[in-house]
Amino acid sequence: MGKIMAVHSYKGGTGKTLLSINLAAALAKTGKKVCLFDLDFRAPSLATLLKVKNPNCWLNDYLNGSCEIEKALVDISERIGNSGKLCVALANPNTEAIREMSSKDRKWEMRALGRLLALRNLISNTGNFDYLVFDTSPGLQYSSINAIVAADLVVVATTFDRSDMEGTQRMLRELYDLFEKKTYLVLNKVLENPTRHKSDLQATVKDFYQVPLLGVVPCYCDILKAEGSTIFAQDKPDHPFTRMLNALAAEIEKNIA
């Protein structure tokens, strides 16, 4: 039986998409069968970042009930070049589609939740995947809450930004606890500070959030230089960011096996 992992955060720009792509790729590189879902209908980005044009069907169509999920899956395994499998299901980045998704009512969202829950078939014993990775929108909008409800575990990307820290702390107490989700933090974009000891940092973070810390990811200028065009797990296997993400993937495997 596979697992569903939602990557979420309180504020925007904390690194959810970057972490989702590279965690999915890192898991696929170890031979796992992984499918990455762009559930950020507010600002879809995987179609552009992964350079996939015109899939047979968008995730929007699947959630609208107008296509089967199999038609929305695009196999990009050859990019990873290992024994694993990597597929993606994309949110439609066209302006009209974004506007349409932002005007959905509660009733539609309830039906969409049913369809997200049905994705569990993809990871059942007869299913095709070991992991589904959901890249979500930040904050507490309906679609992100649906993604969290449908997931087995939530990876929360956070930074040292004060408002992000406080919002994340509240969200951990009031949202994930409510749904009784296994939750792990990834502290991202951390600046090098030679006077701060790594174990002190980890203890402080654990104390503040009261949830397990999966990893601390430094801020790398190479990531910004790549302008989103690089899947580090694929293109730069020896980069410290890739090694960091491989370690995060291994930690996830260990924790949820």
Residues that bind ligand ATP (CB under 6 A): 9, 12-18, 40, 43, 138, 157, 188-189, 217, 219-220, 223-224, 228
Contact 149, 52 (CB under 8 A): no
By DSSP bridging, strand 73-75 and strand 85-89 are: antiparallel
Q: Distance between CA atoms of 185 and 197, rounded to whole angstroms? A: 19
From residue 148, alpha-carbon distances to 76, 137, 182, 242 in Å are 25, 11, 10, 26
* Smallest separation, CB 124 to ligand ATP (Å): 29
- Report the length, in residues, of the chain: 257
159 binds Mg ion (CB under 5 A): no
Tokens 């995947």 belong to 129
* Smallest separation, CB 135 to ligand ATP (Å): 7
Instruction: Of 58, 53, 54, 60, give the one whose Cα is nearest residue 71.
Output: 58
Stretch that binds Mg ion, among 12-20, 102-110, 180-188, 202-210 (CB under 5 A): 12-20
Q: Using CB atoms within 10 A of its CB, is residue 130 exposed (0-12), middle (13-18) or buried (19+)?
A: buried
* Smallest separation, CB 106 to ligand ATP (Å): 23
* Smallest separation, CB 6 to ligand ATP (Å): 13
Q: Distance between CA atoms of 129 and 4, rounded to whole angstroms? A: 10
* Smallest separation, CB 107 to ligand ATP (Å): 26
From first CA to last CA, the distance across the chain in angstroms is 10
Which residue number, 2 or 138, has a Cβ lying nearer to Mg ion? 138
Q: What is the x/- site pattern for Mg ion, positions 17-56, by CB under 5 A?
A: x---------------------------------------
Interacting partner of 13 out of Mg ion, ligand ATP, none (Cβ under 5 to 8 A depending on kind): ligand ATP
Which residue number, 67 or 201, has a Cβ lying nearer to ligand ATP? 201
Which residue number, 40 or 130, has a Cβ lying nearer to Mg ion? 40
Residue ranges that bind Mg ion, judged by CB under 5 A: 16-17
